Amino acid sequence: SSEVLEAIENVIEGVLKSLAQKKAPVLTLANRSDWRNIEFKDSVGLQMIPHSITRQIRSDCPSSAPRFALMLKILSMIYKMVQSNTYATKRDIYYSDTLLFGSQSIVDNIINDISCMLQIPRRSLHILSTTKGFVAGNLSYTEEDGTKVNCTCSATAVSVPSNVQGIRNLISHAKFILVVEKDATFQRLLDDDFCTKLSPCIMITGRGIPDLNTRLLVRKLWDVFQIPIFTLMDADPHGVEIMCIYKYGSVSMSFEAHHLTVPSIKWLGLLPSDLQRLNIHKDVLIPFTKQDQNKLASIQKRPYIACQPLWKRELEIMAASKLKAEIQVLTSLSSDYLSRVYLPNKLQFGGWI
């Protein structure tokens, strides 16, 4: 905590020095959305380069002055929380003054900017993000406050903890982890008792684009258990994008890649080649939109796809067919095809890439 306080004091000292010299204060931070600031490393994923292109948030420019003021406001809130050892969610911060902040996304963005500027992970700033992910299966752990959580005996899923760093005593006999894109598929597998039928496993869903806590939990489980991690996504550009976030990280959070990415993740399904192999009828597939085409083209250009020839091939199949499929298309073969046939066969015969 003393490091965090010192980092904030250094920023404020810089502001005061500028004012003393009758200069307009400026906050400088790495540009989180610029691909030129990103390098791809096989062992880490997308990470920010040390001497990256920066952008300035000026106090004397009408377009950036409000953002400058909001950054100082949130810095002062973080400072007080670290001093008093209290925590708040991003939502708490927004609701402390909705008129001032304007929207939740402005608060979220500023917090990420502050984390990047100070080069301190968000959890160390005493800011918790609200969790939307679920976990189920062969896993038990103790939360920071001493609460014991057992995911094994529950027929319903458990919410991903809001302070993943604080969980301890993780115990599991799982043979693998399955990261599921969507809540509906996750719930269906839970109803089919998938976590125990085949072999003990852990299932996680971020319910779409994963929040920070879900990504932290996947990474923590990998660090602790070192068991295979597979992803089950829709065969569409959006599903591929989500899988890449778990595996390689995202551009906007590349400054935290070391805590978040799991480069060993494997793509289990739904593969575009599976649609041909299983003779899925064209009628149940969905034609690409212009947005899908653009998203796929941008993914194909990313540095990590060049290192994954098998992924590249699957994306080419998808691009050529201009068709996408949700995991639910497997129900066109039979209602429990996913848990009874598809996943057991894939896991038994190594049908991942």
Catalytic residue selected from 95, 248, 304, 337:
95
Please provide the DSSP assignment of 148-175 as one string.
Answer: EEESTT-SS-EEPPS-GGG-EEEE---S
Q: Is 102:95 a contact under the CB 8 Å cutoff?
A: no
**Counting every residue, how long is the chain?**
353
Q: Write out the two tokens for 56.
A: 């300035």
Q: Which of 124, 125, 133 is nearest to 162 (CA)?
A: 133
Which H or E element spans position 178? strand 176-180
Dihedral sign for Cα 78, 81, 85, 86, please.
Answer: negative
79 is annotated as an active-site residue: no
Q: At what angle do helices 212-225 and 237-248 cross, to 10 degrees?
A: 60
| CA–CA dist 353, 339 (Å, integer) | 19
Q: Is 75:114 a contact under the CB 8 Å cutoff?
A: yes
Q: 20, exposed or middle or buried, with CB in 10 Å at 0-12, 13-18, 19+? A: exposed
Active site residues: 95
